Amino acid sequence: MNIQGEATKKPVHKTGENTPGNPAAAAPRASRGPSIADVAREAGVSAQTVSRVSNGLTNVEESTKKRVVEAMKRLGYRPNRAARALKSGRFKSIGVIMFSLTSFGNMRTLDAIATAAAQAGYSVTLIPLEGPTPGMVTGAYDRLREQEVDGVIIIFEAHLLDQADITVPEDLPAVVIDSAPKSGYTMVDTDQAEGARLATSHLLGLGHTNVWHIGGPTTSFSAKHREASWRATLHDAGIEAPPVMNGDWSTDSGYQIGRELARNPDVHAIFAANDQMALGAMRALHELGRAIPADVSIVGFDDLDESTSFWPPLTTIHQDFQTVGRLSIEHLLQKIAGQSPANDATTVGTHLVVRKSTAAPAH
């Protein structure tokens, strides 16, 4: 009420005094909240002083500041970010481009990003993509540029951007997760190589003479990196890597591949590129009567909260999604602030979590 009254009392502006044929009652224009000018009037100061208080500048006398703050409260004033952004060119918002919200790993990373961004006073704008086709990527970029964000975090293979004939505008800070180093972008990611090596070595150390691999999609750098490291680890042990079948991260794809592997009596050790595919593979093994871990050992990658409760509880590689998300934001904010112009690559460590899905081979 009070506010309303004040708000409508707004200035007549200097729009020339001559508007005689005023058409009926002015439309009750969609109530915009009180502006900085309203607060200024209420507090008896200038708009600029209100702005200073609003932005926490120091050079305002204590009593004045108090008066302004009270006026703000009374009017329920909230700064208008659109105006602020228009004026300052800063949006206090970062965009996240990702393909799918259905991959648990991405979810966890997004969660961490959102939390870290919020703590830094940034909001997160989501741009979901439907698939890794050039068109989809382009569309996202257009949208992000329109949206005007201060920077972006991209959670997929950066070379897809290149394929799509896109370069991130040089003035738009970007951080890439799940991509190759030296892609030309700042990068933060889990140490995929270490994780895959840990998983493979664990199985080898148990006495297995070979390790099969359920790979992730070939469009994913994480997947490719994990596979390469698995292959290298086998090679270092003098073992020739068996053929790889690639899933799409989904549980069902793991199940399909798992059925193939389960039918092969030579398979006694499996390294799945993520926990979800490992889960699917375990179902296939169960269905085909292969005991885990007595007959077949399996290791996953991710360490989801759920993996402890898979049956049997899954031995897996722990990924620190939290840290990846946090570091991404940190690096991005630094770039936004104009620091750290280097396109560096940061890697977050992993570790092996041994549970019940692996054991020494029977023979």
Interface mask toward DNA for 69-108; x: CB under 7 A = --------x-xx--xx-xxx--------------------
Rounded to 10 deg, the angle between the 275-287 and 251-263 helix axes is 40
Number of residues that bind DNA (CB under 7 A): 36
- The backbone region for 25, taken as left when phi is positive above 0, alpha when psi lies in -120 to 50, beta otherwise, is beta
Tokens for 155? 């959670």
Tokens for 328? 């991404």
Interface mask toward its own copies for 164-183; x: CB under 8 A = -------x------------
55 is in the binding site of which of DNA, its own copies, none (Cβ under 5 to 8 A by kind)? DNA
d(CA 331, CA 344): 9
Helices (H), the chain: 2-8, 36-43, 47-54, 62-75, 81-88, 104-119, 134-147, 159-163, 192-205, 221-236, 251-263, 275-287, 321-336
| DSSP notation for 163-205 | HTT----TTS-EEEESS-TTSSSEEEEE-HHHHHHHHHHHHHH
111 is in the binding site of which of its own copies, DNA, none (Cβ under 5 to 8 A by kind)? its own copies
Could you say whether residue 101 binds its own copies (CB under 8 A)?
A: yes
Could you say whether residue 4 binds DNA (CB under 7 A)?
A: no
The sign of the dihedral angle between the CA atoms of 267, 178, 355, 287 is: negative
Residue 327 Cβ vs its own copies, minimum distance, rounded to whole Å: 18
Could you say whether residue 37 binds its own copies (CB under 8 A)?
A: no
- Contact pick of 9, 37, 130, 354 for its own copies (by CB under 8 A): 130
Number of residues that bind its own copies (CB under 8 A): 58
Could you say whether residue 313 binds its own copies (CB under 8 A)?
A: yes
Gyration radius of the chain over CA positions: 28
Under the rule (CB under 7 A), what is the footprint of DNA? 10, 13-16, 19, 23, 32, 35-37, 44-49, 51-52, 54-55, 58-61, 63-65, 77, 79-80, 83-84, 86-88
Under the rule (CB under 8 A), what is the footprint of its own copies? 30-33, 78-83, 85-86, 89, 91, 93, 100-102, 104, 107-108, 110-111, 114-115, 118, 123-128, 130, 142-143, 145-148, 171, 250-252, 254-255, 276, 279-280, 282-283, 286, 305-306, 308-311, 313
